Amino acid sequence: MAAFVTSHLDVCIRVEDLAALSRLTPGYFSKAFRGTFGLPPHAYLLERRIARACEMMVGSDEPLAQIALACGLYDQAHFTRVFRKRYGQAPGSWRRHRRRAPGDPT
Alpha carbon separation from 74 to 15, 77, 84 (Å, rounded): 17, 8, 15
Stretch 17-22: mean pLDDT: 94
Domain spanning 2-99: CATH superfamily? Homeodomain-like (1.10.10.60)
pLDDT of 102 higher than 90: no
**Model pLDDT, residue 1:** 81
pLDDT band with cut points at 50, 70 and 90 for residue 20: very high
**Model pLDDT, residue 47:** 95
Q: Which tens digit of pLDDT belongs to each residue from 48-96? A: 999 999 999 999 999 999 999 999 999 999 999 999 999 999 999 999 9
Domain boundaries, the chain: 2-99
- Furthest-apart CA pair in the chain: how many Å? 55
Stretch 9-38: mean pLDDT: 94
